[in-house]
Amino acid sequence: MIEEIPNHNKRVLFEFVHGFLDGKTADSHSPDSAEASWAEAYFLLSDQGAVGTTFELTSDAAQEWMLNEGATAVYAREAKQNHQY
């Protein structure tokens, strides 16, 4: 189920530190619709921006590895979300 984002007109901005997204941002008001969608998704993953909450993501490299290696890789411990923000 997809939740509605309250106060949808407010800006949601994530700045990532460390990990595979280090230095990147996700802005809900970005002209890039993909970036804006990611910012909204991260907002929901972070308990609607609650201070101190975290969420985990899987890098593109880990996703590619899972696609190449198949089901065995998907269940491998290393393939799970490999960075916590």
Q: Report, as an integer, the average pLDDT of 64-85.
A: 67
The answer to which of 14-18, 29-33, 38-42, 77-81 has the lowest mean pLDDT is 77-81
What predicted TM-score, i.e. pTM, was given to this entire model?
Answer: 0.62
What per-residue confidence (pLDDT) applies to 32?
94
Q: Write down the mean pLDDT value for the chain.
A: 77
Q: Give 18-33 pLDDT, tens digit per residue.
A: 878 888 889 999 999 9
- Residue 4 exposed, middle or buried by CB count within 10 Å (0-12, 13-18, 19+): exposed
Distance between CA atoms of residues 29 and 15, nearest Å: 14
Task: Give the per-residue pLDDT at 17.
Answer: 82
